[in-house]
């Protein structure tokens, strides 16, 4: 195998034997090859794939298309029926199917067990144990049997182990979606650093996360290799095929959008014309705003420190819930500990995979008249905007204060997870975010 390759797959097939009745399995064992009591089911057919070292490859496909089967074979937990599979390096996997923990053992015992299965010696595990425990951050549960864990705790511990075993190839599937937003962001920061030098195989139904993370994508369709190529191109083809199939289905569940009247002056009342209709329906995009956590994943803070981050309405009242499409104000208060000549305050809203959805800062508004802040003062930045519609899931608001210009600045305090926004319902819009549209019309001539 070429030394540049991390994984080489040629003509790979996997056939499962499916028994219609449980006792047929027993009969098969007793009769041997004389008679067949099973049907063959080919979960993977003739798959070719090369993954280079340092490459990030996504696998996409509908339910049952063979993604997990392929991953399990790459991880060595499932044997191919035929074909070639070569893996060059240590594979660590975070799979929804589980981390292979023993439910009766404590978290600590499972760390030792799992890490030793990855080839670490007891001395190496001793050395790394503190870092693993810190990464998992599950407190006293580390001493409890894993069977008492929530799925989030389980995934925290599993990820903490795979992050510390010096893997050359990391395999990750939808397991990450179980973790909370803080933890998922931590994992994504690890994954993005890992990808810079090592190989990642990432499996998801979510094409936007695949595009954001992966160089290339393999699209599996009912066990067959439908397409392999640049992530964006393959995902677009996949979505076209998916929506093509969906559009042939009955549309009873679609929201009513036959005719919506145009608002008189959209430039004065910038509000999506469907707001009232949508907000009265099951499509209302309820967004919960969760805690400000200044000590959670941050750096800096000595010369200037963000002391408050809140979302408020136009009257200044703090909001614990927002509805997508509503006008909100993000207020950031910074305690200044030393003189700052050109402070900048900014924010980013990121999804669970760390993709920046939107963000902004105060730089351009004060470019020609920088507002200096003396030691002991307090800076307050306010960003007024219409909250986009957010698909169901968790999002984080990162906040930072810096000094300098847009391009050259020194970060003074950066909070990775200042706020979490939890979207409880999928909105009507499609895409990573939906923007409120001031007008939509449909006319017939």
Contacts to ligand ATP by CB under 6 A = 16, 18, 41, 43, 61, 63-69
Task: Specify the residue, 61 or 343, whose C-beta has the smaller distance to ligand ATP.
Answer: 61
Work out how close the CB of 57 gets to ligand ATP at its nearest, in angstroms, rounded to a whole number.
Answer: 15
Work out how close the CB of 16 gets to ligand ATP at its nearest, in angstroms, rounded to a whole number.
Answer: 3
**Parallel, antiparallel, or unpaired: how do β-strands 56-60 and 82-87 relate?**
unpaired
Task: Specify the residue, 222 or 271, whose C-beta has the smaller distance to ligand ATP.
Answer: 222
- Contact between 93 and 87 (Cβ < 8 Å): no
- Contact between 415 and 347 (Cβ < 8 Å): no
State both tokens at 153.
């705790």
Task: Specify the residue, 66 or 301, whose C-beta has the smaller distance to ligand ATP.
Answer: 66
**Parallel, antiparallel, or unpaired: how do β-strands 304-312 and 224-230 relate?**
unpaired
- Angle of helix 151-162 relative to helix 181-195, nearest 10 degrees, comes to 20
Q: Which value, in Å, is the radius of gyration of the alpha carbons in the chain?
A: 26
Coil, strand or helix at 176: helix
- Which alpha helices (H) appear in 32-90, and where do they start and end? 67-75
Task: Specify the residue, 73 or 328, whose C-beta has the smaller distance to ligand ATP.
Answer: 73
Q: Which residues on adjacent β-strands are paired with residue 93?
A: 171
Q: Any idea what the Cα angle at residue 95 is, between residues 75 and 415, rounded to 5°?
A: 125
Work out how close the CB of 225 gets to ligand ATP at its nearest, in angstroms, rounded to a whole number.
Answer: 13
Work out how close the CB of 174 gets to ligand ATP at its nearest, in angstroms, rounded to a whole number.
Answer: 8
Work out how close the CB of 61 gets to ligand ATP at its nearest, in angstroms, rounded to a whole number.
Answer: 5
Show Cβ contacts of residue 99 under 8 Å, excluding neighbours closer than 6 positions: 110, 114, 154, 155, 157, 158, 161, 162
Task: Specify the residue, 36 or 382, whose C-beta has the smaller distance to ligand ATP.
Answer: 36
Work out how close the CB of 431 gets to ligand ATP at its nearest, in angstroms, rounded to a whole number.
Answer: 22
106 DSSP 8-state letter = B
Burial of 207 (0-12, 13-18, 19+ CB in 10 A): buried
Residue 361: phi and psi, rounded to 5, are: -150, 175
Task: Specify the residue, 27 or 440, whose C-beta has the smaller distance to ligand ATP.
Answer: 27
**Parallel, antiparallel, or unpaired: how do β-strands 56-60 and 199-203 relate?**
parallel
Work out how close the CB of 170 gets to ligand ATP at its nearest, in angstroms, rounded to a whole number.
Answer: 18
Task: Specify the residue, 67 or 305, whose C-beta has the smaller distance to ligand ATP.
Answer: 67
Work out how close the CB of 6 gets to ligand ATP at its nearest, in angstroms, rounded to a whole number.
Answer: 21
Task: Specify the residue, 79 or 254, whose C-beta has the smaller distance to ligand ATP.
Answer: 79
- The CA–CA distances, whole Å, from 261 to 274, 282, 351, 443 equal 9, 21, 33, 11
Task: Specify the residue, 87 or 334, whose C-beta has the smaller distance to ligand ATP.
Answer: 87
């Amino acid at each position: 195998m070429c030394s540049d390759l991390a994984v080489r797959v040629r003509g790979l097939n996997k056939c499962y034997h499916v028994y219609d009745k449980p006792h047929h399995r027993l009969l098969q064992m007793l009769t041997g090859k004389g008679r067949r009591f099973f049907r063959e089911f080919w979960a993977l057919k003739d798959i070719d794939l090369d993954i280079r070292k340092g490459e990030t490859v996504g696998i996409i496909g509908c339910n049952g298309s063979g993604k997990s089967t392929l991953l399990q074979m790459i991880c060595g937990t499932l044997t191919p029926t035929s074909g070639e599979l070569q893996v060059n390096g240590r594979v660590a996997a975070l799979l929804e199917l589980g981390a292979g923990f023993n439910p009766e053992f404590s978290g600590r015992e499972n760390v030792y067990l799992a890490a030793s299965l990855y080839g670490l010696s007891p001395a190496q595990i001793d050395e790394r144990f503190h870092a693993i425990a810190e990464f998992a951050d599950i407190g006293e549960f580390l001493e409890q049997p894993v069977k008492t864990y929530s799925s989030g705790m389980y995934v925290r511990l599993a990820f903490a182990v795979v992050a510390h075993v010096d893997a050359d190839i990391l395999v990750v599937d939808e397991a990450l979606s179980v973790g909370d937003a803080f933890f998922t962001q931590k994992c994504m920061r690890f994954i993005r650093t890992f990808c810079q030098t090592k190989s990642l195989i990432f499996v998801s139904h979510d094409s936007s996360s695949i595009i954001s993370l992966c160089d290339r994508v393999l699209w599996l369709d009912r066990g067959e290799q439908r397409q392999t190529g640049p992530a964006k191109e393959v995902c677009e083809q996949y979505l076209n095929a998916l929506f093509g199939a969906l559009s042939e289905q009955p549309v009873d569940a679609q929201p009513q959008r036959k005719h919506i009247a145009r608002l008189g002056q959209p430039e004065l009342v910038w509000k999506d014309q469907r707001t009232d209709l949508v907000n009265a329906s099951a499509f209302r995009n309820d967004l919960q705003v969760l805690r400000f956590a200044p000590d959670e994943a941050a750096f800096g803070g000595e010369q200037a420190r963000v002391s408050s981050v809140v979302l408020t309405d136009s009257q200044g009242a703090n909001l614990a819930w927002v509805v997508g499409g509503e006008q909100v104000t993000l207020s950031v208060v910074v305690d200044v500990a030393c003189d700052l000549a050109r402070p900048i305050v900014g924010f980013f809203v990121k999804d669970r995979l760390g993709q920046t959805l939107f963000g902004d800062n105060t730089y351009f508004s004060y470019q020609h008249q920088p507002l200096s802040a003396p030691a002991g003062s307090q800076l307050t930045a306010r960003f007024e905007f219409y909250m986009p519609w957010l698909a169901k899931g968790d999002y984080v608001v990162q906040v930072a204060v810096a000094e300098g210009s847009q391009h050259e600045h020194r970060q003074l305090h950066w909070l990775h997870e200042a706020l979490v926004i939890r979207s409880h319902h999928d909105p009507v819009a499609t895409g990573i975010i939906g923007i409120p549209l001031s007008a939509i019309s449909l006319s017939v001539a």
